[in-house]
Structures are given as structure tokens and as C-alpha cells.
Structure 1
Amino acid sequence: MTISESRSVPSTSSDVPAYDRMTTAIVTRDFAALGTTLSPDVRLRALVPPGPFELTGTAAVVAQFEHWFGGGRTFEVLGHSTDVIGSRVHARWTIRRTPDSPDAGPLVAEQHAYVNLGATVEVIDLLCGGWQDARA
């Protein structure tokens, strides 16, 4: 797995903000760790193909990320970053994966999320263009 960041992250987990731990958990597919970064009533609002949706609660949000990125598929992180913008954080990650179907080629997707600053992540506003053919 290849991981690149736009800035360095503090070395101890107690020094790492929740939004950085969230991004790291997503790109390393550590869904248990992802759950620890989210508030119990976290809200995910997402605009993805085939359309917008909203989820509330740690279990539902973690399950959604596991649906997108979990499983035994080949998975490669092409890049990720977090940047503070005012009172929110912009996090992004670009992923390439091989679908479950042996006839399908690799796919790539990039997601952008805006999250609150705080001890845990309470709000995730996410935009994704969907899985695209990586051979194009």
C-alpha cells in the first residue's frame, strides 16, 4: 500500500487530531480505529453516484466506509491529505482498487470530506465522483 500525505502527522496517537486519525483509518482500512474517531451521533452527508444520502451514528458510518473500501480486494492508496480551513478540515483520499469481478479492470475514486474540528468527528460532508476505470 502506498500512502502519501501533504503534511506530517505527530508521532503519538494522543497528539494526532481526530480528523487525521479518521483519514488514516480510512486509507489503512482500519474500520475499528475509524469508529473510535467518530462521535456516537456522527452525521455523514454524502453526494455520490447514484445520489445523495445521509447516515447518523458510528455503526452506520463505519459500515458505509467498510462497504466502499473493505473486503479482500486489491487496494492501493494513491494519495491523501488533510488541511485546516477555518473551523473545518478538508480531508481527501484517492484510492485504486480491483473489483470483485475477475473480468473487471482496476477502478479509481477520489473522495473529499469536510469535517468539524473537535475531540471526535461529529460531521462528515463528503463528495465523491464514483469509481472510474483506472485504465482510461
Structure 2
Amino acid sequence: MYEHFLAAIVNRDFVGLGATLRDDVRLRALVPPGPFALAGPPAVVAQFEQWFGGGRSFEVLSHSAGVVGTRVHARWTVRRTPDAPDASPLTAEQHAFLTADDRVRSIDLLCSGWQDAR
């Protein structure tokens, strides 16, 4: 199951991402500028689309997943160039710990924030 979640993230397949989430999914995230929480597939998918949708270019630099006890650890590093004509490439890395059965029930995520990739 988590393979589908990770594939949806790195392929920017937001419809597919929604299909991996339970109806009561919860996302807790620590990102610059601070922590937040969301509930439900529409809100969670919209957040990932805000982070990774659009842009003049998008590249997955690395990604991996593995099991830690009863949770899944997934990580991805991406480079994205925003739509603005003079925008420079940005890189971000996220680590997520998932609780899942047939679909993802919770996501606890830590993000580096977008960093200058020059």
C-alpha cells in the first residue's frame, strides 16, 4: 500500500494520492513556518498539490520507503522551479511516518522547507 502512496507523491499523481488515503486520514506536519494539522483526503491532497503541483520544472532527486516497527517511513527529495520567469530552482526534502492498513490512516511529516538549489 505505501508503495502506491510514495509513487503518487513522486509522480505528482494527486488523484492517485487521494485513493491511498482513508476517509478519516490525518496529516500532522512540521514545516517552515510552523506546525499544522489537516484531516480528510481533500485537505491532505490539496496540501500536497500546493507543495508539488505546477512549476516550470519538477524533478525527484531521491526517494525511499521502509518499515519501522508498525509504521512506514517514506522520504523524498525534490527540485522544483516555480512558474515565475526569473525564479530559481528550489529543493525540499520531506520525511513522513505513515500509519496504514489497506490505506493511509495518518501521516506525520517533517519538511526542510524550500531551499535555494543553485
TM-score normalized with structure 1 length: 0.84
Aligned to 1:99: 82
The aligned counterpart of 2:41 is 58
Letter in 1 for 2:106: V
The equivalences for 1:22-101 within 5 A come to: 22-101=5-84
Structure 1 outlier segments of 4+, above 6 Å: none
More strand by share: 2
Q: Distance in 2 between matches of 1:96 and 1:105?
A: 10
Superposition deviation, residue 41 in structure 1: 1.0
Alignment length (residue pairs): 118
Tell me which of 71, 93, 98 is aligned to 1:115. 98
- Paired amino acid for 2:73: H
Letter in 2 for 1:45: R
The normalised TM-score by structure 2 is: 0.97
Which residue is 1:11 aligned to? none
Secondary structure, in 3 states, of the residue corresponding to 1:93? Answer: strand
84-93 vs 98-107, which moves further: 98-107
Match of 1:21 in 2: 4
Structure 1: distance between partners of 2:10 and 2:30: 19
Deviation at 1:106, TM superposition (A): 0.5
Distance 2:83 2:33 in 1: 19
How far apart, CA to CA, are the structure 1 residues paired with 2:87 and 2:81? 8
Cα deviations by residue, 1:17-68 (Å, 9 ceiling, x for unpaired) = 2x11011001100000000000011000000011100000000000000000
Give unpaired runs (5+ residues) of structure 2.
none
Task: Give how far 1:72 is off.
Answer: 4.3
- Aligned-residue identity in percent: 69
- Which sections of structure 1, spanning at least 5 residues, go unmatched? 1-16
